Amino acid sequence: MVVPSVDQGEQGRKAYPCELIGWEGFYQLARKLTRRIRATGFLPELIVAIGRGGLVPARVLADQLDLFDLATLKIEHYHAMHKQPYARVRYPLTAQVEGRRILSVDDVSDTGDSLQLATEHLLARGRPAQLRSAVLHHKRVSSFEPDYFAEEVIDWRWIIYPWAVIEDLNGMLQKMEPRPASVQEFMRRLRREHAIEVSEQIIEDVATLAGTL
């Protein structure tokens, strides 16, 4: 995770801003991204989802672009908010790329490592007629700039997507010292330390996973 300077909260806890994206918010981002792709006249023949974060966005883009050819590759870089030492391809792409118009899709360009590795992996498998990339959010700190993005993130924040909300919040919970003693306290801590409002239902799901609260 690329984190700028953060404020120290009570008892030395680190606080950093987050943005919680709901399903409707995600769908509007996907619509915006689709319009930007269409505006350039680019018509992909194959969408490659960069798993895990790009799986849902890629499927929705395939629907909006009326494209049935969808493949995946899995790159491991983050577990919740915890960055691994380096990105690696866990499950390689098996689809043919030679001579085809390819659109690779991820949820966010954060460090840029995953998109860079995905691009190198695709090019190593053949010579596409065109290869472009798309994300919902492009962070200005990223070392890789995708061809398409719905929104540019200028002021850094951690973005929590609806398909990863339990994982990300559980990661936050595990790092909190002292551990929240109740659902309500966890909700207050998320509001104070990360500037997000989370429903009690989601917090209860996190508590079920964590076996606490």
- What tens digit of pLDDT does each residue of 121-169 get? 999 999 999 999 999 999 999 999 999 999 999 999 999 999 999 999 9
Q: Is residue 13 part of a domain?
A: no
Same domain, 104 and 178: no
Residue 11 has pLDDT above 90, yes or no: no
On whether both 99 and 196 belong to a single domain, the answer is: no
Per-residue pLDDT, 212: 81
Residue 5 CA to residue 84 CA, distance in Å, equals 20
Q: For residues 103 and 198, state if they share a domain.
A: no
* 186 and 124 together in one domain: no
Please report, to the nearest 10 degrees, the dihedral formed by the alpha carbons of residues 151, 104, 43, 66 taken in order: -90
Q: Is 22 helix (H, G, I), strand (E, B) or coil?
A: coil
8 pLDDT more than 90: no
Which of 208, 196, 212, 124 is CA-nearest to residue 161?
A: 196
Q: Determine, yes or no, domain membership for 12.
A: no
Last residue of a domain, one of 157, 174, 194: 157
Residues 36-56 pLDDT 10s: 999 999 999 999 999 999 999
Give yes or no: residues 90 and 51 share one domain: yes
Domain range for 178: 164-210
Cα–Cα distances in angstroms (integers) from residue 210 to residues 3, 169, 194, in the given order = 25, 10, 19
Looking at the 3D structure of the chain, how many domains does it have?
Answer: 2
- 170 with 139, same domain? no
Same domain, 138 and 173: no
Domain boundary among 139, 157, 175: 157
Model pLDDT, residue 86: 77
Q: Are residues 186 and 142 in the same domain?
A: no
Answer whether residue 4 is part of any domain.
Answer: no
The answer to whether residues 78 and 123 belong to one domain is yes
Q: Which of 7-11, 59-63, 84-88 has the highest mean pLDDT?
A: 59-63
The predicted pLDDT at position 15 comes to 83
Domain boundary among 157, 179, 201: 157
pLDDT for res 12: 36
Q: Give me the percent of the chain exceeding a pLDDT of 70.
A: 90
- The DSSP code for 9 is -
**Whether residues 83 and 139 fall in one domain:** yes
Residue 80 lies in a domain: yes
Nearest to 207 by CA among 191, 179, 161, 192: 179
Residue 79 has pLDDT above 80, yes or no: no
Q: pTM value? A: 0.89
130: three-class secondary structure by DSSP: strand
Q: Are residues 97 and 178 in the same domain?
A: no
Q: Is residue 8 part of a domain?
A: no
Say what the pLDDT of residue 78 is.
Answer: 59
Residue 120 sits in a domain whose CATH number is 3.40.50.2020
* % of the chain at pLDDT higher than 90: 85
Res 186: pLDDT: 96
Whether residues 181 and 147 share a domain: the answer is: no
Residue 11 lies in a domain: no
